[in-house]
Amino acid sequence: MTKQKRTPEDEAEIRRRRAQSQKDKARNQQQKEEEIIHRLADRITRVIQRLPPSATKPSSLIVPVGCSSISSQALIMEARSKKFMHDIAQVFDDAKYSDAKIVIHGVVLPVHKSVICTQSEYFQKAFQSAFVEGDLGILTFNEGSGAAYWRVFEYLYTVRYSDHLPKDFVNDSPLLKDPRMYSLADMFFLDDLKALSALKLKEKLQLEHLWTSDSFPDCVREVYSCTPNSDRGMRSAVVEVARAHTYQLGQKAMFRGLVGEGGDFAVDFIFPEPLDVPDDPPHTDQTEW
């Protein structure tokens, strides 16, 4: 907060006020987003804990009467953790305190090892090992979707990834964006990002009816090519939607072509697994069709 001083209003003051109102707007926007995030977070935890939605009433948050100090402590802690998250988000794409660089298709992103290495063992190893990355402090990604890589780092700093296109990467189509996030999350061992991206894709397909999109078959291909067999998070999302709309999809030549290709999707589409299978089922023989 900037303090309003009772000094004669000069232009600087006006400018400041304008900046302030802009900031306020931005903050409102941010608050909206945060609300969404909170809702999301709730769902994420539900997904992670694999609880039915009805069972997630936070009964453990009831504070006994007369323990106001405990509850105010809890409030302080909560505020503190919000502030902390905010502070970390502030240094995203900021060279300040940065001690390493990520180069994505030529775009340089200054990063902080303490932020990214603590979250992912991949970065930990990459910067620790006696390889060239550890030597120079530069990690280069020249393959795959640059936007997806960028969003991974955005997520590591801000706990979310945005829809708008960062920098001048070529954006991923809506139905490829989340599978690619999921795939990278899998590669970097970011389980919560996996859950988040799977959820987002599910919402897009189900709520926004994007399963009707012509790019749905490509989405399925992407999902099946970029996750290992044992990883059901994304795969079950697309299979579920496809099975729910078998008839409509069957009308589409593109979708029929997809099933005609055979492979794991075709198998899952025809022989769906029970809905509540664990994420990592015991080893089953890999079926190569």
Minimum Å distance from CB 119 to other proteins?
15
| SS3 state of residue 139 | strand
| SS3 state of residue 289 | coil
Beta bridge partners of 103: 108, 140
Q: What does DSSP assign to residue 108?
A: E
Structural tokens at position 58: 């936070």
Measured between alpha carbons, how far is 240 from 273 in angstroms, rounded to an integer? 10
Which residues, other chains included, contact 15 with Cβ-Cβ below 8 Å and sequence gap of 6+?
none
Counting contacts by CB under 8 A, is residue 256 touching other proteins?
no
Counting contacts by CB under 8 A, is residue 213 touching other proteins?
no
Q: CA dist 281 to 106, 154, 156, 233, 270, Å?
A: 40, 31, 28, 12, 19
Q: CA dist 83 to 24, 152, 158, Å?
A: 17, 21, 12
Counting contacts by CB under 8 A, is residue 269 touching other proteins?
no
Query: Mask: binding to other proteins, 154-173, rule CB under 8 A, as x and -?
Result: ----------------xxxx
Query: Mask: binding to other proteins, 120-159, rule CB under 8 A, as x and -?
Result: -xx--xx-xxxxxxxx---xxx-xxxx-x-----------
CA-based nearest residue to 103, from 185, 10, 21, 167: 167
Minimum Å distance from CB 117 to other proteins?
13
Nearer to other proteins, 67 or 254 (CB): 254
Q: CA dist 228 to 186, 233, 279, Å?
A: 9, 10, 12
| Residue of 221, 240, 272, 279 that binds other proteins (CB under 8 A) | 221
Nearer to other proteins, 9 or 280 (CB): 280
| Residue of 203, 218, 240, 279 that binds other proteins (CB under 8 A) | 218
| Residue of 43, 71, 192, 263 that binds other proteins (CB under 8 A) | 263
Query: Mask: binding to other proteins, 227-246, rule CB under 8 A, as x and -?
Result: xxxxx---------------
Question: What does the binding site for other proteins look like in residue numbers (CB under 8 A)?
Answer: 105, 121-122, 125-126, 128-135, 139-141, 143-146, 148, 170-173, 176, 180, 183-184, 187, 189, 215, 218, 221-222, 224-231, 257-258, 261-265, 280, 283, 286, 288
